[in-house]
C-alpha cells in the first residue's frame, strides 16, 4: 500500500520502475550531489533520472532475474515429471503435466501443417514459461517489493511479461526462427514470395516488397506488444486497486473485493495470453514452412 509520505502518483511510479543497472555518463549529477567522473560509472539506478541518463544499454535486472528463474523452475518441474512418468495411471502433478503436454500437442497437430520436431517442445516451453511469468501478476503488488526494500533493494518488478524488453526479446527469437525456416524450406522461393506477391508482375516488385516486408515485421511486433500491453494493463489495475487502501478505512472493504474480483478474472487473462502467444508462434512458423 502507499506509504504515509508517498503520494498515489509516486506510489504508482515506484511500482512501475525497474531495478536497472547501467552506465551513468560523464558529468551526470547524481541524487546525492556527486558528479560522475570522466570514465562514467556502472551502477544501479536510484530513480527515473538515473534510468534516463543510462540510456539504451541499461539492463532491467529484475526482469532478467525473474524470467530466467521462472524458466529454470519450469525445466525443473518437467524434469521431475519425466523422472516419475510411468506406463501406469498418472496421479497428482504428473497427471496435470501430461494434460498440458497433450493439450499443447493437440494444438500443434491442428495448427502446424509441416514436419518439424522442434515445434511441439518449443510450443510447450512458450506456453508454460509465459504462463508462469504472467502468474506472478497474482502475487500481491506490495509483498515482494517490500521484502526487497527491507534488504536494501529500492525497486523490484516481478512480472517479466510487463516488460517490453522481455516480450519483444521472445518475439525476436520467434522472428529469427521464422526467417531461418522460410529460407531453409523455400530457398529462393522466399525472395519470390516477398517480391511477386500479391501482384505477380515485375513492375509491382517495389510495391510487393514494401507490403510483404511490412507484414513480415508486423508479426513479431504484434506478438510481443500484445502480450506486454495486456499484462501491463492488468498490473496497472492491481496497482490502482492497491492504492485505494491508503484512501481511508472506508475504502478497505471495496478495495479488497475489487482486488479479489480482478484476481479471479485475471486468471483467465494470464492463461489466455500464454495460449495466444503459443498459437501465434505455431501459426507464424507454419507459414514459414509452407512452400507454394
Residues with a catalytic annotation lie at 222, 226, 230
The answer to whether 98 and 58 are in contact (CB under 8 A) is no
Residue 92 region, left (φ>0) first, then alpha (ψ -120 to 50), else beta? left
- Residue 280: partners with Cβ closer than 8 Å, 6 or more residues away: 219, 222, 223
The span from the CA of 100 to the CA of 289, in Å, is 25
The three cell numbers locating residue 248? 481511508
Q: What does the DSSP 8-state code read for residue 198?
A: S
Q: Contacts for 106-112 with beta carbons within 8 Å, 24 or more apart? A: 107/278, 107/279, 107/282, 108/282, 111/279, 111/282, 111/283, 111/286, 112/282, 112/285, 112/286, 112/289
The span from the CA of 216 to the CA of 226, in Å, is 16
The three cell numbers locating residue 132? 508462469
Number of residues written out for the chain: 292
- Residue 47: partners with Cβ closer than 8 Å, 6 or more residues away: 17, 31
Amino acid at each position: 500500500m502507499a506509504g504515509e509520505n508517498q503520494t498515489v502518483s509516486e506510489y504508482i511510479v515506484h511500482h512501475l520502475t525497474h531495478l536497472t543497472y547501467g552506465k551513468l555518463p560523464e558529468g551526470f549529477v547524481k541524487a546525492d550531489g556527486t558528479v560522475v567522473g570522466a570514465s562514467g560509472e556502472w551502477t544501479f539506478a536510484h530513480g527515473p533520472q538515473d534510468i534516463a541518463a543510462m540510456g539504451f544499454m541499461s539492463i532491467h535486472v529484475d526482469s532478467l532475474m525473474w524470467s530466467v528463474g521462472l524458466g529454470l523452475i519450469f525445466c525443473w518441474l518437467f524434469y521431475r515429471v519425466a523422472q516419475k512418468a510411468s506406463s501406469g495411471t498418472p496421479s497428482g502433478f504428473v497427471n496435470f503435466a501430461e494434460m498440458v503436454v497433450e493439450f499443447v500437442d493437440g494444438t500443434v497437430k491442428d495448427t502446424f501443417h509441416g514436419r518439424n520436431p522442434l515445434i511441439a517442445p518449443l510450443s510447450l516451453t512458450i506456453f508454460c514459461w509465459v504462463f508462469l511469468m504472467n502468474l506472478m501478476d497474482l502475487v500481491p503488488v506490495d509483498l515482494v517489493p517490500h521484502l526487497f526494500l527491507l534488504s536494501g533493494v529500492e525497486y523490484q518488478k516481478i512480472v517479466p511479461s510487463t516488460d517490453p524488453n522481455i516480450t519483444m526479446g521472445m518475439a525476436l527469437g520467434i522472428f529469427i526462427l521464422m526467417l531461418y525456416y522460410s529460407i531453409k524450406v523455400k530457398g529462393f522461393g522466399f525472395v519470390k514470395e516477398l517480391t511477386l506477391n500479391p501482384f505477380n508482375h515485375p513492375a509491382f516488385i517495389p510495391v510487393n516488397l514494401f507490403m510483404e516486408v511490412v507484414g513480415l515485421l508486423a508479426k513479431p511486433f504484434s506478438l510481443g506488444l500484445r502480450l506486454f500491453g495486456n499484462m501491463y494493463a492488468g498490473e496497472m489495475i492491481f496497482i490502482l486497486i492497491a492504492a485505494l487502501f491508503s484512501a481511508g478505512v472506508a475504502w478497505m472493504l471495496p478495495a479488497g473485493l475489487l482486488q479479489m474480483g480482478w484476481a479471479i478474472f485475471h486468471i483467465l487473462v494470464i492463461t489466455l495470453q500464454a495460449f495466444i502467444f503459443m498459437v501465434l508462434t505455431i501459426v507464424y512458423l507454419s507459414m514459414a514452412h509452407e512452400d507454394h
